[in-house]
């Protein structure tokens, strides 16, 4: 137990979440550089994570953080600093990187499919993290919005959302009840949430049902060799 004054206790809570969010934004920034210089961010993260001063947690590059805690606490710390005459430039940059990272999958889809208008894109996962039904500030919502804006048809499958009826609050997306139906007629799939069950899907069957078997792994979660053996063109983040 750590005993502090009240202001320090509150600051500990905000600073902890702000640090973790910044750590994720950092590795995403590194991933974007890796994409350009030919490095693999998963190897880079493993290498720097061996340094005990850095540690290996929260170094998984992807399409950004969401949920209820990180956005709220980082924003609260930024606004508190503003209220007291200080500009929290590092935290603001972490938010800016995260906002940009959320649409990195769109850029990769455009690289693979060129024009997205009229194409069908399937999202594997909707919630901001696995093992929850929480859609608050989920990156999937940004993807759906941007894909709709670009004229794409959007489908999605999520282990909880597809079965729970929570999909009634979602617009601009067709919710499928299983991964095979999601893949049917798609020009590309985007892994949005790293659900464990997605490691065991029948990607051979899914590839056969697609018009163009492209997999954008937005969490660097899937086994590349397995997915490519099933016939997919595999695209990771910073890989």
Q: Known catalytic residue: 186?
A: no
Give the C-alpha separation, 102 to 133, whole Å.
Answer: 19
Radius of gyration of the chain (CA): 19
Residue with tokens 């190897």: 43
Element containing residue 234 per DSSP (H, E)? strand 233-235
d(CA 130, CA 159): 9
Catalytic residue among 15, 48, 54, 69: 69
Inter-residue contact 124 to 193 (CB < 8 Å): yes
Strands ordered across the beta sheet of 174-175: 174-175, 153-157, 120-124, 188-191, 214-217, 233-235
CB-CB contact of 155 with 120 (8 Å): yes
Burial letters 143-179, b for 16+ CB under 10 A, else e: bbbbbeebebbbbbbbbbbbeeebbeebeebebbeeb
Is the CA virtual torsion 159, 143, 64, 105 positive or negative?
Answer: positive
CA distance 231 to 212: 10
Would you name the residues annotated as active-site residues? 69
């Amino acid at each position: 137990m750590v005993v502090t004054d009240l202001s320090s206790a509150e600051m500990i809570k905000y600073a902890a979440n702000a640090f973790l969010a910044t750590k994720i934004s950092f590795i995403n920034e590194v991933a974007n550089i890796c994409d350009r210089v030919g490095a693999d961010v998963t190897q880079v993260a493993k290498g720097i994570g061996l340094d005990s001063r850095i540690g290996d947690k929260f170094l998984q590059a992807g399409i950004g953080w969401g949920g209820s805690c990180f956005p709220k606490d980082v924003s609260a710390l930024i606004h508190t600093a503003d209220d007291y005459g200080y500009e929290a430039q590092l935290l603001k940059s972490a938010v800016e990187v995260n906002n940009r990272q959320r649409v990195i999958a769109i850029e990769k889809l455009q690289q693979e499919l060129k024009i997205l208008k009229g194409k069908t894109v399937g999202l594997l996962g909707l919630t901001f993290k696995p093992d929850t039904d929480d859609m608050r500030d989920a990156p999937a919502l940004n993807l759906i919005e941007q894909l709709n804006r670009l004229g794409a048809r959007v489908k999605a499958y999520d282990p909880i959302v597809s079965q729970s009826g929570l999909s009634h609050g979602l617009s601009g997306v067709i919710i499928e009840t299983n991964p095979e139906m999601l893949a049917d007629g798609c020009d590309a799939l985007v892994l949005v949430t790293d659900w464990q069950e997605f490691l065991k899907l029948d990607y051979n069957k899914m590839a056969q049902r697609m018009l163009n078997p492209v997999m954008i792994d937005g969490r660097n979660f899937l086994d590349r060799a397995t997915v490519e053996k099933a016939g997919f063109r595999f695209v990771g983040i910073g890989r």
